[in-house]
Every structure is written in structure tokens, then in C-alpha cells.
Structure 1
């Protein structure tokens, strides 16, 4: 494998490129690596890396709202298209497919049972429907189209629940951060004794995970009731 490959990014017809190390760059795109310096061959920004041509500063500012090369390189690496080998593409497709399946399992339910489909069932439905995954696109950019195609194979419904939650005082502040991260707080009522009563709206498929996380934090002392 070559020691260098390219990440390409386009903005309003202008093209930008950076040179990266293939495997570290793939790990970065998959979220497995955070250190950009270990990914880059250099922090130079090109319009055509093969010819060595570089963009004018005004074009960089127009496209990236900054002339800070470190910030620009980060944007290109995050949003640009990595030139993948065949093996890398297969690896990235597999990783993206896992993310999409996990998202669908957490967000959609079987309308007959109001329970999420098992990930293996979703995976088999994608295979049966010959539904492809774009390794370069974020989950939220392609999941709607994938769900629309899946609906001809398995029943999927996006369904929200409202939970009435009561958390004892000693666990309230820690649990509050969890509630904010997993759903939409419709109401919060802090009691005089420090306990928290809240109404939380979540995707129906996320209910088991929310109950498990709250149970772990509160040692099973939280009260969770479905009100809608």
C-alpha cells in the first residue's frame, strides 16, 4: 500500500486537497483516532496535490471562514472524501453499516409490537433489499433513504414515548446529565428535598437503554413510568 493518499473537499466549485497516511486517515474517519498530527503527511493545503498547486488565501477564507491552516486541515479531513483502497472501502462500509443498523434499532420500532427490531433482522433486510451504504456519508445523511427502502421488507415506525421519571436527590444531578443526552426534557421539577421529577420524550426504541442507564446510576431507585 502506498504511504500517502489524498483527502478531497469541494466548496462552491473550489477544490481542496491534503495528503494523509492511508490507514491512520481511515481510523480517523471511523472515529478510532483523534490525533490529527499522526494522520497528516504535511499540513499543506492544495488545489491539486499532484501538481503541487496551492489555493490563494482569499479562497481559503471564503471556503472555510478562516486562514488558520490547522483548522482548515481539520475541516477537510472531517468533511472531505478519503481516497480509499478496496480493502479500506470494504472496512469503512462495514463500519458505517453497523452505525446505521444501530441507529435504526434505537430509533424505529415494529408498529405491531412497539419494540425495536433486532440488529440481525435489520441487517438481513438490508441484504435482502440489496441496500447499499455510502462509506463517506454521515449516518444522518443516508439513513432516511435506507429506512424508506427497508419499509418494503420490514415494518418500521418512528415512535416517541414520554416517560415520567422520579430520581432521588443523591443521584439527581448525575442523572440529569443523562436525561439531557438521551432525549428531550419536556418538564423538570426540582423538589425541596433535592429529588427530580421530570417528563422525558425519547424514541420508543431507546426505552430499554434509558431505563438501564438510569438504573445503573441510581442503583435501581429511579421511578420510570410511560405516560404516552
Structure 2
């Protein structure tokens, strides 16, 4: 008997979920908890160091990625980099 290990699952550890409600929907992004604190204090400047994934989620814990239509309706763009800037500049 062999043990099956799924290779397509990403385990998120040390996760801080940053939530934002916009356009009547809730969006979430997965970040490193300690890096979010560094970002908000001004010590961290590289956004790639703060983010765990390059996806915007509807629900991080379930792995539900937000649809492009929802993103463009709420933020005016479906470019994840621009959306991250909106998230973090709002909270910074």
C-alpha cells in the first residue's frame, strides 16, 4: 500500500489573510504575517517579499481564486500587481 501525496496542493504556512471589501464582494490575499507588519511599519519595501502567492482570492482557506470579471468590475483592472498596490497603499 502506497501513500498518495497530492503534488498540486500548495500549503500556506505563516499566513496572514489581508481582506478588502470592494464592489460588494470580499477579496483576500495571502501574505507572510511578519512581513505584513514590516510593510506597515515601513521597514519592508519589496511587495514580492510580503506576498505568498500571486493570486487574488475570494477565499484563501478554500483556495477559491477570484474571477477576472469580478476583479475588473471592482478594481477597474484584472492585473494582480495593480490590485496589490491598491490593497497595500490603502492599508499603509
Q: Structure 2 length normalisation: TM-score?
A: 0.76
C-alpha separation in 1, matches of 2:20 and 2:58: 10
C-alpha separation in 2, matches of 1:37 and 1:27: 13
- 2:54 counterpart residue number: 43
In structure 2, which of residues 29, 45, 66 is the aligned counterpart of residue 34 of structure 1? 45
RMSD: 1.7
Q: Structure 1 length normalisation: TM-score?
A: 0.33
How many residues were matched structurally? 80
Structure 2: 5+ residue runs without aligned partners? Answer: 1-12
User: Which one has the largest radius of gyration?
Assistant: 1
C-alpha separation in 2, matches of 1:53 and 1:75: 20
C-alpha separation in 1, matches of 2:85 and 2:14: 20
Structure 1: 5+ residue runs without aligned partners? Answer: 81-137, 139-228
Contact in 2 for aligned 1:29/1:78 (Cα 8 Å): no
C-alpha separation in 2, matches of 1:79 and 1:52: 24
- 1:77 counterpart residue number: 88
The answer to whether structure 1 residue 60 and structure 2 residue 60 are counterparts is no
The answer to whether structure 1 residue 7 and structure 2 residue 10 are counterparts is no
- 1:24 counterpart residue number: 35
